[in-house]
Amino acid sequence: MKRINIIVLITISLAACEPLHKGDGTSPASDGSAGGAQLFVDNCARCHQVTGQGGPAPGGLPAPDIRQLTKSPAELRQIIIFGFGKMPSFKDSISDAQISEIADYVAAQIERHAQYR
Ligand code: HEC
């Protein structure tokens, strides 16, 4: 019984170390925009999902799969600043720097996704 507890503990502590392995090329944050990833989760994922794949958005159209788009960071910035159709504008809720971080993150996701097209 004791031994099982120790094994469980070790497994849990190893799992807790996982985020330290950022930048190994396999985690979504490995493009260097970890801030953008977190900002995307905080501001966009409730409609576009954490993965960006989209789906039914609360009270609106289905949110599109942003990974399938072909948009530059500048175009993405415009969409985040002014909104797009039923998607809300973010210019009053997050800073300009945060908008840029999200735009860069989404652009990186588009690029990653393009490799598998
Ligand atoms: C309240 C739900 C909601 C949130 C939050 C939201 N979106 Fe959207 N988004 C949508 C919907 C719905 C559309 C499709 C709008 C349409 O076609 O009229 C969309 C469209 C888009 C598009 C595609 C525009 C195109 O050219 O087709 C991009 C890019 C986008 N969203 C990025 C983001 C980013 C980045 C965030 C976070 C800052 C975000 N969205 C937050 C609902 C949302």
Please indicate whether residue 85, judged by its CB atom, sits closer than 6 Å to ligand 1.
yes
Q: For each of the chain's 117 residues, which pLDDT tens digit applies?
A: 555 554 444 444 444 444 443 444 444 444 445 799 999 999 999 999 999 999 998 887 899 999 999 999 999 999 999 999 999 999 999 999 999 999 999 999 999 988 876
Any idea what the CATH number is for the domain that residue 68 is in? 1.10.760.10
pTM for the full predicted model: 0.78
Please tell me the total count of domains within the chain: 1
- Which of 75, 84, 94, when mutated, tests ligand 1's pocket best, judged by the most ligand atoms within 8 Å of its CB? 84
Its domain, for residue 28, covers 23-114
Kindly report the number of other CB atoms within 10 A of residue 105's CB atom. 27
Domain presence at residue 34: yes
Instruction: Note whether residue 13 is domain-resident.
Output: no
User: Using a 6 Å cutoff on CB, does residue 45 contact ligand 1?
Assistant: no
Quickly list H helices, the chain.
2-17, 34-43, 45-48, 73-82, 96-114
Show Cβ contacts of residue 29 under 8 Å, excluding neighbours closer than 6 positions: 22, 23, 37
Residue 27 domain-assigned (yes or no): yes
DSSP 64: P
Q: What is the pLDDT of residue 20?
A: 41
77 lies in a domain? yes
Give the whole-angstrom CA distance, residue 109 versus residue 68: 9
